[in-house]
Amino acid sequence: MYSESDHRPIVQKYGGTSVGNVDRIKHIAKRVSEQVEQGYQKIAIVVSAMSGETNRLVGLVGDINPKAPAKHYDLAVSAGEQVSVALMASALEAEGVSARGFTAYQLGIVTDEYHSQARIQEIDCRKLFDVWERGEIPVIAGFQGITRQGEITTLGRGGSDTSAVALAVALDAAFCEINTDVDGVFTADPRVVPNARLNLEMDFEVALEMASLGSKVLHARCVELGAKYRMPIVVRNTFKENDSDRTKIMSFNDQQRLEAPVVSGVTLARDVVRMTVDCMPPDQRLVSGLFENIAEAGVNVDIIVHNRSDRRDAMRLGFSIGRSDLGKTLEILDAWKGGVSAEPMIDHEEGLAKVSVVGLGMQSHPGVASRCFAVLSERDINIHMISTSEIKISCVISEGQADLAAQALHEAFLDE
């Protein structure tokens, strides 16, 4: 698969389970050395910390000081990727491939100063071309960066994927390969829907929706970055030889969009909570003020439903959040309520899940939504909230019926 892009670099990212032990690291080094032997020289490898290592380091800092500043967490945690870099470089040398390790500061992966959730601002790639010129393979620490003041940062969840895609963009790479412990992006979670199939090609937009809606293979952030710069992302299984079983995420052209399947996947997000604020005065400023407070607290609000209350001249507002944000959200609502004269009623419902149908072809098939509702109602699955966009339909349902709903929707739209 490398022949057509011989002149452009390739970035290969290996995640925590892929570098989880000595044998796995050796396996990867063997693969890379074979590619180098096949004549492909401009490979850049990005590695995560060995699985479990980041948690061990976070645990150590937490044991010492649960309120340690994020900069100290970042300093501790980034050691994990540094070790992986050294091990991968050593494994490559054992295969006869000269390797050069790079931490974020050694390469120059500059981020902003938001410790533990930093964003990459700039990557200096010149050193990599020098390294390739000398016939060496660079191995780069993912997940970490450095501020312009020289402080170590980390990129937050999905950080190593983001490092890899950002590096691919900076290098104008042919593509960015995300090597992981699954074969790619499936039409549904195979543990829930046994008939789930691998998507061989996906448009960025669909992949982004699936990542946002609960597919755990890729983080939305890295897909977003790929989409922004049209950098193809190949998701593949580190330990499968067969290179055709993988998902390529790319920008579809018009023809491809036309021919895209109506539905590409069914996703499932559990632990959804519905908040309800009833008997609100019909004042739009009250609503926007509330959502500003919620956003400032870092709570991700998903579906919002806003309509008339049963009470005359009043409104009812519903929105969904993740269960981990419930405490924070209740506090905000309580404080907000104090400033509202009409005493709105606040309620919440736990034990919900969100099932979504995603696909580029839905734009031209308006019947998808109604078929979706029909499929769920046939199974006596009650829909609590609905949200639609051009390429997805999300339904909040009871968590107990989540698996059944995903299976039913997959059967209706995706089973062959």
Q: Which one of 80, 159, 184, 214 is in contact with a second copy (CB under 8 A)?
A: 80
Q: Which one of 63, 133, 296, 310 is in contact with a second copy (CB under 8 A)?
A: 63
181 is in an annotated binding site: yes
To the nearest whole angstrom, how small is the minimum distance from the Cβ of residue 92 to a second copy? 9
Q: Which residues contact 151 (CB under 8 A, 6 or more apart)?
A: 71, 74, 113, 115
Nearer of residues 81 and 203 to a second copy, judged by Cβ: 81
22 forms part of the interface with a second copy (CB under 8 A):
yes
To the nearest whole angstrom, how small is the minimum distance from the Cβ of residue 49 to a second copy? 10
405: three-class secondary structure by DSSP: helix
57 forms part of the interface with a second copy (CB under 8 A):
yes
User: How many chain residues are in contact with a second copy, going by CB under 8 A?
Assistant: 38
Tokens encoding 380 = 């006596």
Tokens encoding 282 = 């019909």
Q: Which one of 38, 65, 256, 300 is in contact with a second copy (CB under 8 A)?
A: 65
13 is in an annotated binding site: yes
Separation CA 413–CA 416 (nearest Å): 9
31 forms part of the interface with a second copy (CB under 8 A):
no
To the nearest whole angstrom, how small is the minimum distance from the Cβ of residue 237 to a second copy? 22
Separation CA 357–CA 372 (nearest Å): 8
Burial of 292 (0-12, 13-18, 19+ CB in 10 A): exposed
Q: What's the Cα-to-Cα distance from 381 to each of 174, 254, 407, 413, rounded to whole Å?
A: 45, 37, 12, 17
Can you spell out the DSSP letters for 305-371? EEEE-SSTT-EEEEEEEEGGGHHHHHHHHHHHHTT-TT--EEEEEEEEEEEEEE-GGGGG-THHHHH
105 forms part of the interface with a second copy (CB under 8 A):
yes
94 forms part of the interface with a second copy (CB under 8 A):
yes
Interaction with a second copy in 135-194: which residues (CB under 8 A)? 150-152
Name the segment binding a second copy (CB under 8 A); options: 76-84, 291-299, 313-321, 363-371.
Answer: 76-84
Q: Are 168 and 175 in contact (CB under 8 A)?
A: yes
DSSP state of 2: -
Which residues make up each annotated binding site for substrate?
54, 81
Which residues make up each annotated binding site?
13-16, 54, 81, 180-181, 191, 216-217
Which residues make up each annotated binding site for ATP?
13-16, 180-181, 191, 216-217
Binding site for a second copy (CB under 8 A): 22, 25-26, 57, 60-61, 63-65, 67-69, 71-73, 75-76, 78-80, 82-83, 85-87, 89-91, 93-94, 99, 101, 103, 105-106, 150-152
